[in-house]
Structure 1
Amino acid sequence: MSLQAEDELQHALLPLWLEFPEIPRYAIGWRMGIGEDYRYKFGDWWDTLSPQAQQLYQQRYPAPIGWRGWYADEDWDEDDEEINTDLA
């Protein structure tokens, strides 16, 4: 990995499952309150990273079983859309 990618991750945020391990992936806690705030903060931060830094981050913080595929979601609001469609 490049030094630039390393530099980008100097002040990395923790992934959602480490910051709030008590909130399951599809729980309402990611759609309201402190979980929602962190989710958007993380997404805004993630969007600033280069592809190399994102890859390095994923290697450092591999998604646990219940979160697999989460990094691949380009639009993290997609989970909300799927749930809203299911409820309609």
Structure 2
Amino acid sequence: MRRHKGFVLIESLTAFFISLLILWTLVYCVNEQFTLLNNWEEKVSSDKIILLHLKSDKIPNPIIIKDKKYYFSQDLNFYQVKVNGHAYKIKK
């Protein structure tokens, strides 16, 4: 059976495209996981800052953790920490 040169080229290009698609999917998934971890880290740090402020009034505002500024505030019903445009609230 004789193979045509064009068929080998199409087969190679298809394999290359599938490889690129798999690589792009893996990069996207890993990036989304890092984003998720970053959000959880902000949430945990915000909760920790609220607990620190409940223990003492001498905590600086803002607090910088891993190059992110966490701003603590409170009103009549909530404790709140703002970081990177996100606001984490806890009821009093």
How high is the TM-score relative to the length of structure 1? 0.29
For the pair shown, the structure with the greater C-alpha radius of gyration is 2
Greater relative contact order (CA < 8 Å, ≥ 6 in sequence): 1
More strand by share: 2
How high is the TM-score relative to the length of structure 2? 0.28
